[in-house]
């Protein structure tokens, strides 16, 4: 075992040494591990032309221009409404527009009832509002990089997908009736001029595979259950159709009931963590900039008063964590009766035992329109069949989309498993960090541990040993959590020690290395954790420390690694082959046999299921429920999640 540890440590050091020998300083994690990545390395595309060209497109001579753009659902408004709210004009900003604050349609102008009918917001009086430019920061960074002629910095702000070709040969499965065909380019999709402008501002040159398939399906009004690998662009895949649909849809009818201060969003996006909700909100704000579509976020741990004020100013898209949303619904400050679109990000997490009761309450027991009336989209990188079965309650005549295998990890992430005894973990981590430091490259490292106490103690120990670190977990207050993320992102504390609260969805640029200091008990949690690196076509490195305590993970890990073309250490294969160590006792870790995820992917095609809801209570949901069952996952219980049924500690 020590031999195995030694082998991998030395291969890492050899990689680092090889990097040091290079003439050019390495700028990428590919450079960190040339021996591993050599066989898969792709040449980086030449830098595209300066972004100024794409961020400020010249209006077409005859076609519709941004200056004449009026969201379609406003075009047939009554003359009194139009008199009160002149059409928006990006070309003719209001006199008070300041740099970075561009004009947008005023609250009375867009969204009809959705913009706070009965929500107490001024209607018709104010024609223009000031919408902070969500691109200001990246534009400034681009400008600074261009001025400094530093191509490295410049490259970091490209979203052209340095290695997006990596996704091209991924197998795609769709099932369901009359599946709309995929598209190859954004130009083929009628998203609307204002949203197209934002796609360009985001520097998305072409859609990722999940976007190519999911966006046409959603634009066709179909319900969707979509599974695609971490970092492959699922956020835009559900945001674009929602924003486009709201822009083009009919004005919302003013609800008859409800208090004067009740907000009536048209779309609801639910996500499991506060930080992920904040991130989706930021993304959605960029996508909806100057479209007149207003996005508000509500999550726990932050003062509710500001969120109430935001809601009062009007909301089309509400991004929320379940706990805070239930609170708002109970106070009658939000009504779901106008909901047209429901999206669940990390849908499998939202429907496992920790969240399911709250989510069912929101979706089924409040005033939300039923499936078939609203449009529902469920997205995740992992989708166990038992969760698919539950999720089908929320859907009507839906299409199932799998980009890559359900629950697989991307080949962009180099996975390494090292045998490390508990007592040696800290010194081993130190070796890795030293090797990384020796490369001279400033990168971010995310270290996952199992418990909140473990996170605190590892953070202190790292700091004491000269490695600036911070931590995020459920016992830290929201301010501390946000501060930790900020200092990590900025590189001030380039090591973040985290529980599973940071495992899902977070898109942090420059995370080059994820270390599973403690492995989770659930292979899906592992997939999400390592997915914090190797995103958007970039490569990444994930190292996990394995020992006897993780024996139930041997088989699922070996299978996952094999599936994503990783070298499986011989000792891990031997562990995996032991009948008692395979994690084959059922529960979530079972990847093969029994019609689980390794076989068919849409549970409706599984011969053991009987269509919608037909197989509930049988098969792999309750069956085999020994280890690794839903409530028993210590990554949720002991880690950041506070135990099954207790997500409110961190939402």
Ligand X SMILES: Nc1ncnc2c1ncn2[C@@H]1O[C@H](COP(=O)(O)OP(=O)(O)OP(=O)(O)O)[C@@H](O)[C@H]1O
* Residues within the interface to ligand X (CB under 6 A): 159, 161, 204, 207-208, 211, 228, 230-236, 381, 505, 507, 531, 535-536
Shortest Cβ 567–ligand X spacing (Å): 24
Using DSSP bridges, classify how beta strands 399-403 and 224-228 pair: parallel, antiparallel or unpaired.
parallel
Shortest Cβ 535–ligand X spacing (Å): 5
DSSP 461: H
Q: Which is nearer to ligand X, 228 or 298 (CB)?
A: 228
Say how far apart CA 566 and CA 569 lie, in whole Å: 9
Alpha-carbon dihedral sign for residues 487, 490, 495, 499? positive
Please report the beta strands in 346-502, taking only residues with DSSP state E, as ranges in sequence order: 375-380, 399-403, 413-419, 444-448, 469-472, 495-498
Tokens, residue 177: 């009736």
Shortest Cβ 632–ligand X spacing (Å): 24
How far is it between the farthest Cα atoms of the chain? Answer: 80
Q: Which is nearer to ligand X, 283 or 418 (CB)?
A: 283
Shortest Cβ 546–ligand X spacing (Å): 23
Nearest alpha carbon to residue 310 among 298, 325, 322, 326: 298
Q: Which is nearer to ligand X, 228 or 644 (CB)?
A: 228
Reduce the DSSP state of residue 7 to 3 states and report it. helix
Task: Name the residue with tokens 């403690």.
Answer: 518
Q: Which is nearer to ligand X, 278 or 536 (CB)?
A: 536
Using DSSP bridges, classify how beta strands 172-175 and 399-403 pair: parallel, antiparallel or unpaired.
antiparallel
Tokens, residue 597: 């995820």
Say how far apart CA 549 and CA 539 lie, in whole Å: 29
Q: Which is nearer to ligand X, 48 or 87 (CB)?
A: 48
Nearest alpha carbon to residue 356 among 630, 640, 615: 630
> 572 near 557, Cβ under 8 Å?
yes
Shortest Cβ 565–ligand X spacing (Å): 19
Q: Which is nearer to ligand X, 235 or 451 (CB)?
A: 235
Q: Which is nearer to ligand X, 475 or 651 (CB)?
A: 651
> 204 near 236, Cβ under 8 Å?
yes
Shortest Cβ 351–ligand X spacing (Å): 16
DSSP H helix total and E strand total for the chain: 23, 16
Residue 135's contacts (CB-CB under 8 Å, 6 or more residues apart) are 55, 201, 202, 286, 289
Shortest Cβ 139–ligand X spacing (Å): 15
Q: Which is nearer to ligand X, 531 or 628 (CB)?
A: 531
Q: Which is nearer to ligand X, 204 or 603 (CB)?
A: 204
Say how far apart CA 482 and CA 188 lie, in whole Å: 39
Nearest alpha carbon to residue 276 among 339, 192, 355: 355
Shortest Cβ 229–ligand X spacing (Å): 7
Shortest Cβ 60–ligand X spacing (Å): 23
Q: Which is nearer to ligand X, 237 or 462 (CB)?
A: 237
Nearest alpha carbon to residue 572 among 548, 536, 597: 548
Q: How far is CA 232 from the centre of its chain?
A: 9
Shortest Cβ 206–ligand X spacing (Å): 6
């Amino acid at each position: 075992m020590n031999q195995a540890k030694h082998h991998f440590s030395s291969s890492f050091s050899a990689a680092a040494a090889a990097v040091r020998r290079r003439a050019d300083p390495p700028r990428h994690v590919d450079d960190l591990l040339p021996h591993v990545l050599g066989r898969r390395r792709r040449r980086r595309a030449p830098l595209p032309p300066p972004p100024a060209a794409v961020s400020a497109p010249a209006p077409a001579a005859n076609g519709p221009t941004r200056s004449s753009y009026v969201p379609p659902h406003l075009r047939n408004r009554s003359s009194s409404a139009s008199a009160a709210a002149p059409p928006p004009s990006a070309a003719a900003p209001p006199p008070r527009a300041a740099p970075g604050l561009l004009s947008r349609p005023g609250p009375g102008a867009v969204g009809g009832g959705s913009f706070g009918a009965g929500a107490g917001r001024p209607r018709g009086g104010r024609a223009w509002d000031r919408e902070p430019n969500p691109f200001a920061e990246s534009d400034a960074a681009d400008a600074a990089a261009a001025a400094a002629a530093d191509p490295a910095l410049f490259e970091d702000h490209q979203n052209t997908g340095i290695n997006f070709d990596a996704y091209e040969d991924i197998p795609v499965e769709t099932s369901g009736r009359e599946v709309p065909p995929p598209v190859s380019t954004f130009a083929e999709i009628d998203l609307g001029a204002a949203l197209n402008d934002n796609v360009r501002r985001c520097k998305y040159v072409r859609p990722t595979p999940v976007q190519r398939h999911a966006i046409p399906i959603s634009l066709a009004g179909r319900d969707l259950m979509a599974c695609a690998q971490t970092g492959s662009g699922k956020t835009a895949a559900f945001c674009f159709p929602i924003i486009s649909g709201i822009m083009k849809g009919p004005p919302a009818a003013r609800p008859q009931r409800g208090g004067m201060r009740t907000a009536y969003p048209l779309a609801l996006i639910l996500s499991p963590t506060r930080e992920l909700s904040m991130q989706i909100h930021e993304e959605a704000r960029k996508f909806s900039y100057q479209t007149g579509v207003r996005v508000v976020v509500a999550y726990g741990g932050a003062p509710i008063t500001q969120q109430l004020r935001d809601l009062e100013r009007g909301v089309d898209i509400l991004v929320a964590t379940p706990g805070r949303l239930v609170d708002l619904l109970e106070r009658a400050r939000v009504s779901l009766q106008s909901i047209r679109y429901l999206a669940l990000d990390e849908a499998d997490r939202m429907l496992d035992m920790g969240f399911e009761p709250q989510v069912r309450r929101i979706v089924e027991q409040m005033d939300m329109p039923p499936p078939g009336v609203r449009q529902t989209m469920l997205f995740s990188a992992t989708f166990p069949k038992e969760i698919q079965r539950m999720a089908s309650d929320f859907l009507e005549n839906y299409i199932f989309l799998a980009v890559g295998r359900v629950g697989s990890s991307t080949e962009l992430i180099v996975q390494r498993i090292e045998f490390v005894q508990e007592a040696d973990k800290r010194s081993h981590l130190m070796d890795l960090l030293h090797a990384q430091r020796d490369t001279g490259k400033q990168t971010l490292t995310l270290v996952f541990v199992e418990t909140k106490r473990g996170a605190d103690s590892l953070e202190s120990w790292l700091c004491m040993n000269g490695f600036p670190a911070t931590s995020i977990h459920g016992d830290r207050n929201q301010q501390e959590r946000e501060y930790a993320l900020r200092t990590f992102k900025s590189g001030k504390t380039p090591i973040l020690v985290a529980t599973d609260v940071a495992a899902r969805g977070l898109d942090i640029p420059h995370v080059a290395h994820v270390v599973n200091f403690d492995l989770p008990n659930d292979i899906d949690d592992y997939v999400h954790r390592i997915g914090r690196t190797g995103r958007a076509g970039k490569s990444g490195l994930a190292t996990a420390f394995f020992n006897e305590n993780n024996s139930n993970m041997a088989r699922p890990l070996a299978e996952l690694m094999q599936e994503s073309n990783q070298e499986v250490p011989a000792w891990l294969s031997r562990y995996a082959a032991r009948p008692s160590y395979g994690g084959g006792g059922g529960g979530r870790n079972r990847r093969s046999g029994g019609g689980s995820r390794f076989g068919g992917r849409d549970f409706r095609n599984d011969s053991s299921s009987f269509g919608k809801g037909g197989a509930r209570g049988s098969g792999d949901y309750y069956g085999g429920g020994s280890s690794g069952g839903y409530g028993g996952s210590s990554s949720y219980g002991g880690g950041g999640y506070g135990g099954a049924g207790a997500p409110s500690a961190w939402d």
